[in-house]
Structure 1
Amino acid sequence: MKVKAITFIITLANVLPTFGVIQECVDFGKFLQRSSFTFNSKEDCCGLKETEQYSFNITCKDEHIKTIDLQLYSKFVFSDTGSFPLLSELTELKINGENNFPNGILPKRFFDLPKLKILNLYKTPKMPENANDINGNSPIEEIYLDNNGLVKFPYIFKKLKNLKTLSIKGNQITGNLTSEIKEFKTLKQLYIQNNQFNGELIIPDSLTTINIVGNKFTSYSSTNKNNALEEVYANGSSIINDSFINKLATYDNIKKMYLSSGSITKLPNKMFNLTNMEALYVIIY
């Protein structure tokens, strides 16, 4: 009987190698270790943790990791992003640091996470070259790549069937937006302020919110049919003129407008009849 009892204990140890630590913490720890980050696999990853290399805040529920907020202190690079664990209940991933990924390229692995809704990355200036590298069926709804050093608009995200919010503010993107942006069929909110865009402003027809503050757009595309548009933030943009104001006044769903320009001569009467308007901020100088 004693032999059988010992055999049973050994078998149980093989099934549960780290007592009290959920398996997803073990998997996440192994990912960190592959890139030479120190991590004790016997420690619970749920909650706050800080080392000389990194700190993180991980929330867990029902033995699953739900959110990860990872801050890197040293200039380590994740050497094998393809081994990032496909955490079954992860909904939000934020990684903040300096040049975290090989060659600064956004890892395609993140788009295979089965329940990821929010992706927030810092210092990730390049997109995968092949559009097929991104899983278009990803559940991701929000992408934040603010202050990342981007120099090109990430049209590759047009494949994402669930994308609703794209924020790329504070980058160094130049030139025009192209008609390719019309292929973002589900996009609702677009934040591109404080870049260096110019020329014609083209936006997806599904858009409800647009922020172009700090850019140099000169005209509003005649191809825009934005009846869903609710919020416009365009302070100081050269696009602001009578023609643009008159166009906005035809969108009955408009709720908020923040505009300032020296090219406005008058506000159309119809603007004051927009029944959904909540905030109208216009500076004429």
Structure 2
Amino acid sequence: MKILTLLFIVYPLSINIQICNGEIDCSIYNNDLHAIDVNQFYIPASWGPNNYTYVNYDNYFRVTEFCVFNDLNPSLSVYCVQNLEQLRLVNTNLTILPEIKNFQRLQSLIIDTDNGVIDQHLPSEIGQLGSLLALKLSNITYLEDLPNEIEYWTKLQSLILIGIPNFNKIPDEGFGKLSQLTELRFIDLPNLSNIPSTINNLQSLQQLEINKTNINSLDLENLYSLKSILISLNPNLISLNMKNLSLVATISVTYNQQLKTITLENLPKLYTSEFYSLSSLEEISFENVLSLSTISIVSNPKLKSISFINIPTIKSLILSECELTTFPESILTLKSLQTLNMKSNKLSALPLTFSTDLPNLKILNLENNQFQGYIFQPPLIYVRELYLNDNSFTFIDGIGKYKSLSILQLNKNQISSIPLEITGISPTLTRLFIENNLLTDIQYSMNNQL
């Protein structure tokens, strides 16, 4: 395979192209390279490894890859390069014509920044690209939709749409026939208000990203190949349901300001999940999520209901900055839980069965809550690290029964004395932090034993 970098400048009068009966006449060219060579393409004065115009061709002058970069006056002869497998148009004023059907071998089509030359609708002939594996359209000014003929893209594996301000419609039936699609990304499509329900027909789909759209609900069900989900910055999304997704391993849902309810059900391979900055979130439920190890639910100030049903392998739960006033009882069902972080809420009490219900809990962070008075009783006998900074505890009597404790942080409370019984756990307690309290002195005998 040979690479030819086109290093010349062409002006409008030098374009040699013929139109016959409303169609481009490709018969005037001897081969692919001839179609490019006699209609030279503009090259900027400075260019780097990925931003220049070039072609790849073989010994028979068959061009398999063509990249046109920063060309404001490209030749339509590109439609005569019939052996193309990869076409990349970057900041190029090339409109999409029906002659795109000539690219019967095209596997990858990338169009980035069209300067407003592409119409509101792509020609239906684009559906004739039967070999297409990947399509990426970004920064297309006027495009509003994809044609129904996408149903013929039976080999398409990757569909990425980014930064298309007027895009508002995906053909329902045609979309559901993209049976080989493995990657789907809709990013910065502010007028797209609906994802067709036929998304659940995409049984090969593995990666899904929906970011900065106008959708108000999303139901993902029975997608048995899906592995990762990213849903972010969709300002009108209200409900999100994910059910029967047998291979999903990671879920990230962030900055969807109107999202109120999230349901996760029957996700046996889900390992990590995060739910950040959902300012309207009220309910979230997990059911039959059998491999889940880490859950992060952070900065969701209206959260009222959290449900965990059959979550047998959970190791770490972060549930912070949610303004919770009562401890969610469903957490007590997480028998395998080892780390619980509930800092920056408004909790004032723990359930009496906390320690017995969570026998594997080793790290507990309750910083910046509203606990006051005595430290927790019954004692948290299994906890090794306990973080209680920024509360209003006044007494830590009973601390001697915290037999597993190795780290204890009590900064910024109202503690006036340290009971002598703390020396009873000195073999395990390696670090004690108790700054910014009301202490006046520490007993001499305690100094010798801590």
TM-score, normalization: structure 1? Answer: 0.67
Structure 1 partner of 2:381: 205
Unaligned ranges ≥5, structure 2: 1-151, 156-175, 184-201, 237-245
Counterpart residue identity of residue 180, structure 1: T
Q: Relative to structure 1, is the Cα distance of residues 34 and 195 closer, same or farther in structure 2, using a 3 angstrom cutoff?
A: same
SS at match of 1:250: helix
1:107 aligned partner, one-letter code: S
1:154 aligns with 2:328: yes
> Which residue in 1 is equivalent to 2:48?
none
Structure 2 partner of 1:235:
411
Cα drift, residue 138 of structure 1: 2.4
Deviation at 1:106, TM superposition (A): 3.1
Matched position secondary structure for 1:145: strand
Aligned to 1:280: none
> How far apart are the structure 1 equivalents of 2:280 and 2:205?
20
> Does the CA contact (< 8 Å) of 1:214 and 1:237 recur in 2?
yes
1:71 is displaced (CA, Å) by 1.4
- Change beyond 3 A, Cα 1:48–1:28: closer
- Among residues 87, 91, 94, which one is paired with 2:271 in the alignment? 91
> How far apart, CA to CA, are the structure 1 residues paired with 2:214 and 2:180?
16
Distance of 1:77 and 1:140 partners within structure 2: 24
Deviation track 1:22-78 (CA, whole Å, cap 9, x = no partner) reads 958569779x99952599x9xx98597866559xxxxxxxx9443233213441334
Identity fraction in percent:
16
- Name which of structure 1's ranges 158-167 and 232-241 shifts more when overlaid on structure 2: 232-241
Select 2:438's aligned residue among 259, 262, 276.
Answer: 262
Q: CA shift at 1:257, angstroms?
A: 1.3
Q: In 2, Cα distance between the equivalents of 1:121 and 1:24?
A: 29
Q: Is the 8 A contact 1:229 1:253 kept in 2?
A: yes
* Residue 126 (structure 1) shift: 2.1
**Distance change in 2, residues 1:180/1:52 (3 Å):** closer
RMSD in angstroms over aligned alpha carbons? 4.0
How many residues are matched?
238
- Which of 1 and 2 has greater Rg? 2
Q: In the aligned structure 2, how far is the partner of 1:165 from the partner of 1:198?
A: 23
Aligned to 2:314: 140
Q: How far did residue 235 of structure 1 move?
A: 0.9
Deviation at 1:229, TM superposition (A): 0.4
From 326, 345, 354, the equivalent of 1:181 is 354
Correspondence for 1:105: 283
Q: Which runs of 5+ in 1 are unaligned?
A: 1-9, 55-62, 275-285
Higher relative contact order (CA 8 A, sep 6+): 1
CA contact under 8 A between 1:24 and 1:64: conserved in structure 2? no
What is the TM-score of this pair, normalised by structure 2? 0.45
- Which of 319, 339, 345 aligns to 1:171? It is 345
Correspondence 1:218 to 2:394 = yes
